[in-house]
Amino acid sequence: MAIILGIESSCDETGVAIYSHENGLIANKIYTQIPLHQEYGGVVPELASRDHIKRIIPLIDEAIKEANINKTDINAISYTNGPGLNGALLVGSGVAVSIGYALNIPVIPIHHMEGHLLSTLLSDDNIEAPFIALLVSGGHSQIIKVTQIGEYELIGDTLDDAAGEAFDKTAKMLGLPYPGGKYIAELALKAKHDIYNLPRPMLHSKDLQMSFSGLKTAVLTLINTLTKNQTILDEATKANLSLSIEEAITDVLVSKIELASKITGIKKVVISGGVSSNLKLRNKFDKISQLKTYYPPLKFCTDNGAMIAIAGAIRYNLRKYDYKFNVKPRFKLTELDKIP
């Protein structure tokens, strides 16, 4: 039995959470930098690192208070060591390793995407491997075959943009704020039909590769045509475009997972990462009766500390005491240590 403090700082959210083997998630604190980056239309790495530095210790204090424990009750610290922004990762790792050193407890580096994958265990559903995982975030669109927790085989990937990136870039073209996925989803609710029928890249490629940059180009071309006679898009056109973008991206993701299930013979699917909060995506998956789908609770789809704390709790038995830190901005999920 142990109490694990989890720290996430790979991008634009400072997340701190405490997970107890006995009582589950006992504290969860998050500070989002999104408003800070919005005026630049995307994350500014240097500003992200500076803001993590400001927020991280007060958030840890708040989490300890919320969990109603003392610092010395913490048995291990887990932190995101990659992939992500180098400077942002260094803040979380520096703080985690320093606290670990001071308290003489293990520090456990966590792969950000394994955190997303395991965030599904924060739901009430009981999921056991083998399963397929669709990890869809701002930086990744990956299909993973999970033979057991900790053993990951990459069976599908995007050749260019990630699904979240496709949402964000097309949203930017529509003049929507960063990160655009949720704004596209909101606007799409105001449209009735998928009137533009945008391309579904690699839908019939018979493999598990994905590509979203063609979709981005198609949206740009369409916007240029639509704006020929007017300076800006009206709200109804923006809503119609949002629905068509959402339909195209979600169709590709669903069809690739159906194919992954056919190829592997596995019918259980975990869908996680920021894009898994998309309700249309969930809706389409839930309609496929041959698949049993699992999602993280909505509040744990986008980056958070709870996913790093639970991943740390699962990896606690590896008991790493390494007080050197080595962040890996391009860390691959297939390079992880096995869980004994």
Binding region for Zn ion (CB under 5 A): 137, 303
> Which one of 164, 201, 305, 312 is in contact with ligand KG4 (CB under 6 A)?
164
199 class by beta-carbon count within 10 Å (0-12 exposed, 13-18 middle, 19+ buried):
middle
Question: Shortest gap between Cβ of 57 and Zn ion (angstroms)?
Answer: 22
Q: Which helix (H) or strand (E) holds 8?
A: strand 3-8
x/- binding map, residues 251-280, to ligand KG4, per CB under 6 A? ----------------------xxx-xx--
* Residue among 319, 333, 332, 338 nearest 77 (CA): 319
114 binds, among ligand KG4, Zn ion, none (CB under 5 to 8 A by kind): none
Which residue in the set 8, 51, 247, 303 belongs to the binding site for ligand KG4 (CB under 6 A)? 303
Is residue 296 at the binding interface for ligand KG4, with CB under 6 A as the rule? Answer: no
Q: How far is the CB of 209 from ligand KG4 (least distance, A)?
A: 20
Minimum gap (Å) between residue 202 Cβ and ligand KG4: 19
What is the rounded distance in angstroms from the CA atom of residue 330 to the CA atom of residue 20? 30
State the residue for tokens 């004994």.
340
# residues near ligand KG4 by CB under 6 A: 19
Helical residues (DSSP H) of 189-296, grouped into ranges? 213-226, 235-264, 279-286
What is the bridge-based pairing of β-strands 268-272 and 24-32? unpaired
Using CB under 6 A, which of 79, 131, 152, 167 touches ligand KG4?
Answer: 167
| DSSP one-letter code for 300 | G
Identified binder of ligand KG4 from the candidate list 25, 302, 306, 308, rule CB under 6 A: 302
Dump the DSSP string for 99-149: HHHHHT--EEEEEHHHHHHHGGGGSS----SSEEEEEE-SS-EEEEEEEET
Task: Check binding of 180 to ligand KG4 (CB under 6 A).
Answer: yes
**Interface segment toward ligand KG4; rule CB under 6 A; list 1-9, 176-184, 254-262, 285-293:** 176-184
Number of C-beta neighbours around residue 93 at 10 A: 22
Rounded CA-CA distance 340/338 in Å is 6
* Peptide bond preceding 83 in cis form (omega within 30 of 0): yes
Cβ at position 250, least distance to ligand KG4 in Å = 9
Member of 139, 156, 296, 312 binding ligand KG4 (CB under 6 A): 139
User: How near is the Cβ of 10 to Zn ion at its closest, in Å?
Assistant: 7
- Binding residues for ligand KG4, rule: CB under 6 A, are 11, 137-139, 164, 167-168, 179-182, 185, 273-275, 277-278, 302-303
